[in-house]
A and B are shown apart, each in its own frame.
Chain A
C-alpha cells in the first residue's frame, strides 16, 4: 500500500505532453483534497420541506413501495414457525433462519442468519455464519445492514473475515417490520465504494 498514488503509475508514459500536464493538475488537486465524506442516512435524500419553507413540486417519495415491502422481514424471521436453528458450535436458540447468497462481487459466498428471540429491551440477537467471503485488504471490513426498499438502511454490525467460514454474533435493535431484507457490504477506508457481497434478495440489483 502507498499513501499517495504515483502519477506515472496511474497514467503511464504514452500521453502527449499537453494532456499529461492537464491530468497532472487534477492529480495534484486530488492529492490535497480531503476524502469525500460518506453521507449520513439523514442526508441521502433532500428534505421534502426545508425548514419553514414548503417545496412545491418536489417529487413524492416512494412511500407506497416501502409500505408494500414492509413486514417482509417479519414474515421471513417470525412466520418461520419458531423453528429451532441450532447450527454452529455454541447453542443459539433461534426462531428462524434466513439464507443469503453471494452477489457478482462475491459469487461463491453464502451465509445463514439465525434470528434469536427478542429480549425485553427490544434487541434481536443474530448469529451470522458466512462462507467463502473474499479476504479483506488492510483497513477494510464487512458490514451487515437491514434494507429498506432493497437499499442498506440500518446497520446490524461489522465483522472481518479471514477464514473460509466465519461465525459472528450481531444484533438488531430496530423494529424489523420497517425493513425488507438484509445485505452485507464491503468497506475500505475512505472509499464510498461499498459493494454488496451477500444479499437475501434474489437478484443482485441492490
Chain B
C-alpha cells in the first residue's frame, strides 16, 4: 500500500485515487469485498470473481459432473452473489464460507430444477464415500483451490506439477528448466503461504 502511494505521488489526483482504489480492492478480505459488492462496487465483484471462479467451477463440476452445466451454475452463482451480497453479515463469519454456502445452494437448486439429485444418497451401504464424506471433500477442494488463487504464479506452478501432475521435484526442475534448489525453495514458500491462507480461512 505504501509503495502504491509512493509511486503515485506524481500522478494526477484522479489517477492516484484509482491506484489507491485498485490496491485497496485487491488487498481487501473476501468479507470486505462482499460488503462492497453489496454496495454496487463492480471492481470488488470482479476481484471476488477472480478469486473464486475456479473453486466454484471445481465444486460445480464435482457435483454436476458436466462441464456445460457447471459453467452455467458458476454464472448463476455469481449472479446470486451480486444479488445477495447486501445480506452478508460479517459478524456471522468470514466471507469464504458464506460464498461456499451461496455456491452450494445455487448448484443444488440447479440440480433440483432438472430433477437430478446433486449427490445420490445410497440406499445400501457401500464402499463409496457417502454424502458427509463428499461434502467434506468438496469443502477441502474448495479451500485449497481458493488458496491457490493467492499464490504467485511461480509458486503455484511448482505445487500443481508436484501434486497433480505426478512430477518429482527433479522432474519439475527439468520441466520448468530451473535449478532443483529453486523448485525446493518455491515449494516450501508455497506451502508456507498456503498454510497462512488456510489458517486465516480467508476472513
Check if A and B associate: yes
Q: Which residues of A contact B (CB under 8 A)?
A: 1-5, 9-12, 19, 22-23, 25-27, 29-37, 39-40, 42-43, 46-47, 50-53, 55-59, 105, 134, 137, 139, 188-193
Least distance between A51 CB and chain B CB atoms (Å): 5
Decide if A29 touches B140 in the complex (CB within 8 Å). Answer: yes
- Distance in angstroms from B152 CB to nearest chain A CB is 12
Chain A residue numbers with a CB within 8 Å of B171 are 1, 137
Contacting A43 at CB < 8 Å: which of B71, B82, B175, B184? B71
Chain A residues positioned under 8 Å from B165 (CB to CB): 139, 188-191
Which residues of B98-133 have CB atoms within 8 Å of chain A's CB atoms? Answer: none
Chain B window 139-175, contacts with chain A (Cβ cutoff 8 Å), 1 for yes, 0 for no = 0110111001000010011011111111111010011
Give 9 closest A-B pairs by Cβ, nearest first: A50-B79, A57-B42, A190-B164, A58-B42, A35-B164, A33-B144, A193-B157, A46-B49, A23-B191
Chain B residues in 8 Å Cβ range of A3: 166
Q: Taking the complex as formed, is B32 at the interface, i.e. its CB lies under 8 A from any CB of chain A?
A: no
A137 touches B175 (CB 8 A): yes
Q: How far is the CB of A206 from chain B (nearest CB, A)?
A: 14
Give Cα A192 to B158, complex, Å.
Answer: 10
Q: Is B27 an interface residue (CB 8 A)?
A: no
Q: Which residues of A contact B75 (CB under 8 A)?
A: 42-43, 47, 50-51
B contact residues, range: 35 or more
Contact A32 B79 (CB under 8 A): no
Sample of 9 more A-B contacts, CB < 8 Å, known A33-B144, A40-B57, A52-B79: A3-B166, A5-B169, A33-B141, A36-B164, A43-B53, A47-B78, A51-B76, A53-B83, A191-B165
Q: Which residues of B contact A (CB under 8 A)?
A: 40-43, 45-46, 49, 53-55, 57-58, 61-62, 67, 71, 74-76, 78-79, 82-83, 137, 140-141, 143-145, 148, 153, 156-157, 159-169, 171, 174-177, 184, 187-188, 191-192, 194-195, 198-199
- Nearest B residue (CB) for A52: B79
Complexed CA–CA distance, A156 and B168 (Å)? 31
A192–B58 CB distance below 8 A: no
Cβ–Cβ < 8 Å partners of A192 in chain B: 156-157, 160
| CB-CB nearest in chain A for B144 | A33
- Residues from chain A with a CB closer than 8 A to the CB of B194 are 26, 30
User: Are A51 and B140 in contact, CB atoms less than 8 angstroms apart?
Assistant: no
Cα A52 to Cα B82 in complex, Å, equals 11
A57 and B191: CB pair below 8 A? no
**Cβ–Cβ contact B42 & A191, under 8 A:** no
Question: Does A188 contact B161, Cβ atoms closer than 8 Å?
Answer: yes
Within 8 Å by CB of B195, from A25, A47, A139, A190, lies A25
A36 to B57, alpha carbons, bound, how many Å?
Answer: 9
Q: When chains A and B are docked, how far (Å) is the Cα of A42 from the Cα of B74?
A: 10
B-chain residues with CB within 8 Å of residue A27 when the two chains form the complex: 191
Q: Do B167 and A23 have beta carbons less than 8 Å apart?
A: no
Residue among B62, B83, B161, B164 with most chain A CB within 10 A: B164
- The answer to whether B42 and A32 have CB atoms under 8 Å apart is no
Q: Which listed residue (A4, A51, A52, A56) contacts B163, Cβ 8 A?
A: A4
Residues from chain A with Cβ under 8 Å of B156 in the complex: 192-193
A10-B162, A32-B137, A59-B42 known; A191 vs B157 contact (CB < 8 Å):
yes
CB pair B188–A23 under 8 Å, yes or no, is yes
